[in-house]
Amino acid sequence: MATETAPSGGAPTADVAGAPLRPDVLGGNRVLDEVRQQAATALAELPMERVNGDGDRPITFRQSLADIYAYRELLGNLVRKELKIKYKDSVLGFLWTLVRPLLQLLVYSVAIGYFLGSSRTIPQFGVYLFSGLLAWSLFTDIIGGCTGTMVSNAGLIKKVYFPRELFPLSVVGAAFINFLLQLIVLLGAYAVTMRFPHPGQLYLVPLALVVLLLFATALGLVLSAANVYLRDVQYLVEVGLLLWFWMTPIVYDWTKVKSNLATQHPLLYDAYLANPMANVVLAFQRALWPQGLGTPFYYGGNLAGRLGILIVVSAAMVWIAQRIFARAQGNFAQEL
């Protein structure tokens, strides 16, 4: 039955069921509407406030570190989430972490080692190759994962506030755990060959890891923020990593670069050695490739000094990257 209405300008006198509307109900509805309108007007007149900074300035780097530490339990949960999502509903689970480096090792051992003859000149070419791939896999896992982490977690970003840096840092943590698992392959190679790294060179591994983690974290923070505003960044990263891989002495030895650039193009050779990942890979090869000691492929430069300088530079890059990230994160929810 249609609602009956009062004469022109009057209020309805009956609902859709034909029952008369009580005056107290009509009055209550009018009061609620007035309260809602007043509340909406009051909220609209309130000044806008930033949740991640004081005034127009983002919070300081020290405050950001304090916030991250305060949310350390959430960071641990995000690391576990990264690991679980990556291998969710898979039969092999974490064993898939070993599949990619082992497949790369097989392909490059056959293509570079057998067909191009590198295995005939470089002793234990498989160990040499895997020591470099180990560092490179950690680097690419961090860069590739960080680039898309803000977009993939858009739902959380738009619903609740916590330090947005936790997302890239969770990728770094998950990638480092995968790195530790991949070390099992290298330990197995040592057990088979019965040749173990020289203890005097193992100090290079933690130095190289610090450089890698700081450098990759700095790039990851910037790329994760940039990808929110320009989604082409994730595709540019894929192309850039492919080029970067071949600019790093992993599947070929550094002496080939030296013989072609050191005398004819010394500036290019210096630029090549300034590549942080080249130094990290050379450090891994010196420390984790025991068969290279005493061969022409053994890099005898001052790697400890170079890594020390790179640690300072990479730490400065992390500070700069976090400042860029802090400036950009204010509009993440809107852009996503």
**pTM over cut 0.85:** no
**Dihedral-angle region of residue 310 (phi above 0 means left; psi in -120 to 50 means alpha; beta otherwise):** alpha
Domain ranges of the chain: 61-289+298-324
> Average of pLDDT values for 42-63?
59
For the chain, counts of helices (H) and of strands (E): 15, 2
Helix axes 303-328, 61-70, angle to 10 degrees: 90
172: how many CB neighbours lie within 10 A of its CB? Answer: 20
| Predicted confidence band of residue 264 (pLDDT cuts 50, 70, 90) | confident
Beta pairing partners, 14:
20
CA 144/CA 253 separation, integer angstroms = 26
Beta pairing partners, 57:
54
| Amino acid at site 90 | S
CA torsion sign, 106 to 108 to 111 to 115? negative
User: What would the pLDDT profile of 227-245 be if each residue is shown by its tens digit?
Assistant: 999 988 999 999 999 999 9
SS3 readout for 86-119: HCCCCCCHHHHHHHHHHHHHHHHHHHHHHHCCHH
List strand residue ranges (DSSP E) for the chain, in order.
53-54, 57-58
At residue 1, the pLDDT reads 44
| Predicted confidence band of residue 114 (pLDDT cuts 50, 70, 90) | confident
Question: Which has the higher per-residue pLDDT, 161 or 248?
Answer: 248
**Which ranges of 194-253 does DSSP label H, i.e. alpha helix?**
204-229, 233-246
At residue 33, the pLDDT reads 65
119: how many CB neighbours lie within 10 A of its CB? Answer: 18
User: What would the pLDDT profile of 57-73 be if each residue is shown by its tens digit?
Assistant: 567 888 989 999 999 99
| Amino acid at site 29 | N
Selection from 187, 101, 174 nearest residue 136 by Cα? 101
